[in-house]
Amino acid sequence: MPKFVVVYHGGPSSMSKEQGQQHMTEWRDWMRGLGDAVIDLGMPVGKSKTVSQNGVEDHGGSNPISGVTILQAKDFDAALEMVKGSPHVNIGGTIEIAQAMDMEM
């Protein structure tokens, strides 16, 4: 079954403790609802740096990464349907999804 990399971007710059707890409850419920489709829960990430030919910049661009997850689904459309239900979108974040490509190393 194809694997998909789910990359969370943005989100609120601050939340109250209660809002953060509510969001995490919703996120955990969403993850549990995906069942065996979740290969790796992933993790949130801290501040990023961008590396290019011009050197290193101390930010992740206009929409920096805030976390990752690895899912499996029968196809891209099925993976998209799973991701549309993420509570991350409800707090102002966006989600980027891409199919992981199999290749010999």
Q: What is the DSSP letter of 67?
A: E
Average pLDDT over residues 13-20: 87
Backbone angles phi, psi at 40, to 5 degrees: -145, 115
Average pLDDT over residues 58-81: 92
Mean pLDDT (the chain, rounded): 92
* Domain ranges within the chain, ordered by starting residue: 3-47+63-99
Burial of 12 (0-12, 13-18, 19+ CB in 10 A): exposed
Burial of 84 (0-12, 13-18, 19+ CB in 10 A): exposed
Per-residue pLDDT band for 34 (boundaries 50, 70, 90) equals very high
Rounded CA-CA distance 73/42 in Å is 16
Class of domain 3-47+63-99: alpha beta
Burial of 48 (0-12, 13-18, 19+ CB in 10 A): middle
